[in-house]
A and B are shown apart, each in its own frame.
Chain A
Amino acid sequence: MRLFWKRKGPAGPRPQDIDCGQVMQRLYEYIDGELDDPDLVARIRAHLELCQRCYPHYGFERAFLRFLAEVRDGAPPNLRRRVFQRILEEETRKG
C-alpha cells in the first residue's frame, strides 16, 4: 500500500489508518456527506489526499454524480393549472 502515497502528510490522521478497500466501501457515503463519525470522515479525507489510487477514483465518482444531478425534468406549465383545477373540484364537491 505504501507505493500509493503521494507525499508525506500533515499531522492528524495518517492515510494508512484506513485501507483502500474500506475507503471504497464508504466512498459514496463520504461524497454524500452521510457519514456520522467525524473521525472516520477525517481518516477517509487523509487517505484520499495522499492515495494515488483512491484519489482519482474519488474524482471519477464525483464527476459521475455531478453529471446525474443535471438530468432533471421540470413539471409542464399546464400541470400546475390542472392540479389547481382538481383541488377546486374537490372543494366544490364537498360543497
Chain B
Amino acid sequence: MDQDSQDKQREFNDEALVHLDTLYNVALRLTGDAADAEDLVQEAVLKAYRAWDRYERGTNCRAWLLTILRNTFINEFRKRSKRPDPVSFETVEELTVFENVQDVDPEGSFFRHIVDDEVRRAIDELPEEFRTAVVLSDVEGLSYAEIAQVMGLPVGTVKSRLFRGRRRLQRRLYEYAVEMGYIRP
C-alpha cells in the first residue's frame, strides 16, 4: 500500500472513525435491528471513505458522516426495515405529560423506573422524521443547525419535529409507567 493510502487511512481513522459509536447508535435507532445497524454503518463508512477527498477539512465531520448514514438508510435500508409502519402524524396526542403528573410527580421521578429497553422501544416506535431528530438531539447531543444539516431541513422544521417527537415519546413513556404502576394516572 502506498504512502498516500496510508496517510488517508490514518486521517480517516483519526477524524471519522472516532464517531463510530455515534454512527452505530443512530443506525440502531433508524433500523431497529442490530445486524441491519452494523450493515448500515459499514456501508455508510465505506461511502464516506470513498468520498473522503471531498470532505471539506475543518468542517463538522460528525454531521457529514451522519448525513451519509441517513441518506444510505433512506435510499437502501428503509425498504427492508423490520419495523412496523409508524403511527399516522395526526392521531397522537402531543400535550405535555406535565399536566398529568404535576400533582403526583412533578419532578418526573417515574422516568427513573423505566428500563432502558422500554425507552429504546418507545423511541423506535416514533415515525422516522421525529425519531431521527430526537435521537440526534437528545441522545447524541447535536445542535439544531447540525440536525438541520443531517436531515436536509430548515432549522424551524427541526424545532417542530423535535417538539412533537419529544412530546410523543414523553406520552408513550408516561402511559407505560401508568401501566406498570410506577405512577398513578
Contacts from A to B (Cβ < 8 Å): 24, 28-29, 32, 34, 56-57, 59-61, 63-65, 67-76, 79-80, 82-83, 86-87, 90-91, 94
Q: Does A28 contact B98, Cβ atoms closer than 8 Å? A: no
Shortest C-beta distance, A2 to chain B (Å), equals 20
Chain B positions within 8 Å of A74 at CB level: 21, 24-25
Among B55-63, B66-74, B77-85, B138-146, the stretch in contact with A: B138-146
Min distance, Cβ B158 to any Cβ of chain A, angstroms: 10
Docked complex Cα distance between A89 and B169 (Å): 41
Q: How far is the CB of A20 from chain B (nearest CB, A)?
A: 12
A90 touches B50 (CB 8 A): yes
- In the complex, whether B157 has a CB less than 8 A from a CB of chain A is no
Question: Max chain B CB contacts within 10 Å: which of A24, A83, A94?
Answer: A83
Q: Min CB distance, B33 to chain A, in Å? A: 12
In the complex, what residues of A have CB within 8 A of residue B9's CB?
87, 91
- Give chain B interface residues in 120-144, CB to chain A under 8 Å: 120, 123, 134, 137-141, 143-144
A71 touches B50 (CB 8 A): no
Chain B: minimal CB distance from A91 (Å): 5
- The B interface is mostly helix, strand or loop, or mixed, namely helix
Q: For B12, what are the chain A residues with a Cβ–Cβ distance below 8 Å?
A: 87
Given that A63-B108, A75-B20, A82-B38 are known contacts, is A69 also in contact with B46, CB under 8 Å in the complex?
Answer: no
* Chain B residues with CB below 8 A from A60, complex form: 97-98, 101-102, 106-108
Nearest-CB distance from A21 to chain B (Å)?
12
* Beyond A71-B119, A71-B139, A75-B24, 19 extra complex contacts between A and B, CB < 8 Å: A28-B162, A56-B98, A56-B102, A57-B98, A57-B102, A59-B107, A59-B108, A60-B107, A60-B108, A64-B108, A65-B166, A67-B108, A68-B134, A68-B169, A79-B24, A79-B41, A80-B20, A82-B42, A90-B46
Please name all residues of chain B whose beta carbon is closer than 8 Å to the beta carbon of A29 when the two chains form the complex.
159
In the bound assembly, the distance between CA atoms of A70 and B111 in angstroms comes to 11
Q: Lowest 7 A-B CB distances belong to which pairs?
A: A75-B24, A63-B108, A68-B138, A67-B111, A56-B106, A74-B21, A71-B119
Closest CB-CB distance, B46 to chain A, in whole Å?
5
Those of B40-57 within 8 Å (CB) of chain A: 41-42, 45-46, 49-50
